[in-house]
A and B are shown apart, each in its own frame.
Chain A
Amino acid sequence: MIDFARNVRVWFAPEEVRQEGRTPDYRFSLANERTFLAWLRTALALIGGGFAVDQFLPDLRWGWRVGLALALLAAGVLCSLRAVNHWVRCERAMRRGEDLPVSRFPALLSVVVAVVAVAMVFVVLVGWEG
């Protein structure tokens, strides 16, 4: 948690990253940037999915529809915050010459997406009948 707070400070203070260690090969930084963008796209897709659930499933009951949409939007927010946090951690590890940080977030996200998908199947089957 303290680590996270420290990282949040770095988001807004770019000079702090640059002071540590030495600049890695620019290609590694660009690869890190592309990973960050891929996570940001995942976040945007989740957010778009939230809007889509709200717009394109109008026959669902209100509770289900809003619940699913809010869950997807929240997942998008989490995913984007994690994207920048992981980017900062990787950048810092590369500057210090440490191992890249490991993360259980991808596993967590895939479980959440699987659960949401199963919930969608359930909701579409039940919600349209009832």
Chain B
Amino acid sequence: MSEGAAADRDPGLQPERTRLAWRRTTLSGTVSAVLAVKTALHGGPSPAALVACALCCALWLAFLYLAHRRIRTLSSSDTPPTLTPRAATTAVLCTVAMAVCGAALVF
């Protein structure tokens, strides 16, 4: 490691920590999605169950894409731009949609 690179980098490793936070959150989302799919397919593969299953997978993919895009932005520069409210809202809406899907399945 050269002297210049060490000086450029944030000693608190903020972008890296934020990147890992996105990874952790994606992992939590994966666990939720797997449990959702298990719930959906519990009573055998009926059409409604398959639709719910596909929906949960789509929500998970959307979240994955969002996280991936943000991680790329974070690693692209030394002073990354702020998270946009739209991305934050989309991530939250994915979560909410999964919960609503779950409520429908459980009920």
Contact = CB atoms under 8 A, between A and B. Distances in A.
Interface of A: 10-14, 17, 23, 26-27, 29-31, 33-34, 36-38, 40-41, 43-45, 47-48, 50-52, 54-55, 66, 69-70, 73-74, 76-77, 80-81, 83-84, 87-88, 91
Given A40-B95, A48-B31, A30 B14 contact: yes
Given A30-B15, A80-B95, A83-B92, A66 B106 contact: yes
Interface string B14-45: 11011001101100110110011011001000
**B-side binding surface: helix, strand, loop or mixed?**
helix
A13 B38 CA distance: 36
A117 B31 CA distance: 21
Q: How large is the interface on B (under 10, 10 to 19, 20 to 34, 35 or more residues)?
A: 35 or more
A52 B91 CA distance: 22
13 contacts: A33-B83, A36-B88, A40-B91, A40-B95, A41-B24, A41-B28, A47-B102, A48-B32, A51-B106, A69-B106, A80-B96, A84-B89, A84-B92
A77 B83 contact: no
Given A33-B21, A44-B95, A51 B89 contact: no
Nearest to A69: B106
**A-side binding surface: helix, strand, loop or mixed?**
helix
A51 B36 contact: yes
B18 A73 contact: no
B99 interface: yes
Interface string B44-78: 00000000000000000000000000000000000
B28 A48 contact: yes
